[in-house]
Homo-oligomer: A and B are copies of this chain.
C-alpha cells in the first residue's frame, strides 16, 4: 500500500478512536448529571443503572445490534473479530479500521439508553430497567438506525434518505429516540409520590448540584467526539475543515443554550436557576447535533439559544401534563431533538427538506415509542416496573442495591 494511504488510514482511525473515547466519556456525564439531580436516597440505584446500561449496550450491540444496523446478513462477526478488510462486507477497501467504526458506533447506543435512565429515576425497579435496556440496545435502536444511518428502507415501504431526511450526528436518531423510549416508560410508570399534589407540581431538588454540573461539562466535552466524529473522516483538508467547524459550532450552541436558559429563567423565576442553565446547555447541544457543519458560528449560537429557550418551556409544560421527568430528559433530548431535526433545512437545504425531516421524526418517534411501550408493558406484566410505595419512601438504594450512596452524610435521618 502507498504510505500516504496508510497515513490517512491511520489518522482517520485514530480520530475515530479518540472521538469514540469522548463519547464513551458521555456515559460518565449522564451518570453524574442524573446522580446529582436525584435525591440522596435514590443515588446508588441510578449509578448502578447507568454503569449497567452502558455495559449491556456494549454487549447487545456486539451480539446483534451492529449487524442489524449496518451488517445486513452477518450476525457473527464478533466470533471472528473485525479485520482490516472491513467487517461489513463492503467490496471497497476500508479507509479506517473497521473495529474503530464499531467502537464509535457502540458508544452511541449507550448514549440513547442513558437518556432513559434519568426520566424514570427514583421509582423504577432496577431489573425491569435493565431488561428494557437489553431490548432497546439490541433491537429497537438498531432497527431505526438501520433505516437512517444504515440506509435500509423502512419495512420495504420508503427510504428516509431518498425523501430528504438528514440527521448528521443524531438529534433524532439518538436523542429523540432515547426520549421516546423514556416517555413510554414514564407514562406506564406514573409520577413520583408527592410530585403532583392538588394540581401543583412540587420541586424535588437534586442532592448534589456540583455533580450535576460536572456531568454537564463532561457531556459538553464528550459532544465534541459525538458530533466531531460524525464527519466520519478527517484526513483531508475538506474533512478536517468540517471537523473543525463542527467542534466550533458544537461549543457555540452549548454556550448559546446556557445563556438563553439562564436569562429566561431569570425573567420567569427571578433567580439564576442553575439546573435550567445546565439543561439549556444540553439543549443547545441537542439542537445543533442534527447539523453542526453548515451553520455559521452565529447561527450555531442562535440555534443553541432556541434550544435553551424551548427546553425551559417544555419542562414547565410537561409538569402541567403531569409527566414526571426528574432530570428533564424528555424535554432536552426529545422536544429539542425534534427542533434540531427541523433546523437542518435552514442551513443545509441540499441535504434535507422540512417534509423529509418531519417524515424521519415521525418514523423514529412512532417506531421507538410504540415498541418501547409494548416492551415496558410486557415487563410490567411479568415482573412489574415500579417499586412499592414503602420502598419509594425509604429510597430505592436500600431495597434495590443494599447500599447508601452517602452513608456518612445522611444516616440518622
Contacts and interface: CB of A to CB of B under 8 A. Distances in A.
Interface residues of A, number: 124
B7 A8 contact: yes
A45 B209 CA distance: 10
A54 interface: yes
Contacts of A9: 237, 240
A202 interface: no
B297 A78 contact: yes
A324 interface: no
A235 B248 CA distance: 22
A309 to B, nearest CB: 14
Given A40-B408, A83-B241, A408-B410, A247 B62 contact: no
B224 A17 contact: yes
Contacts of A221: 21, 24-25, 28
Nearest to A66: B297
Nearest to A45: B272
A17 B81 contact: no
A21 B21 contact: no
A8 B6 CA distance: 9
Contacts of A232: none
Contacts of A25: 217, 221
B14 A209 contact: no
A366 interface: no
A44 interface: yes
B403 A13 contact: no
Contacts of A251: 24, 58, 103, 106
A405 B213 CA distance: 10
A274 interface: yes
A243 B25 CA distance: 18
Interface stretch (A147-155, A275-283, A314-322, A334-342): A275-283
Nearest to A40: B408
A377 interface: no
Nearest to A402: B271
Interface stretch (A175-183, A256-264, A378-386): A256-264
Given A24-B221, A31-B213, A402 B234 contact: no
B247 A21 contact: yes
A404 B212 CA distance: 13
Given A1-B237, A410-B409, A403 B275 contact: yes
A358 interface: no
A409 to B, nearest CB: 4
A252 B405 CA distance: 27
Interface in A1-48: 1, 3-11, 13-18, 20-22, 24-25, 27-28, 31-32, 35-36, 39-41, 43-45, 47-48
B11 A7 contact: yes
A98 B55 CA distance: 37
Given A59-B255, A228-B17, A10 B99 contact: no
Interface in A76-98: 78-84, 96-98
A255 B209 contact: no
Contacts of A80: 296
Nearest to A278: B51
Given A6-B237, A55-B258, A103-B247, 4 more contacts: A10-B235, A45-B272, A47-B209, A82-B245
19 contacts: A3-B8, A6-B237, A10-B236, A11-B11, A27-B217, A39-B408, A48-B262, A48-B274, A50-B213, A51-B258, A52-B259, A55-B254, A56-B255, A59-B256, A59-B301, A81-B296, A84-B238, A103-B251, A272-B400
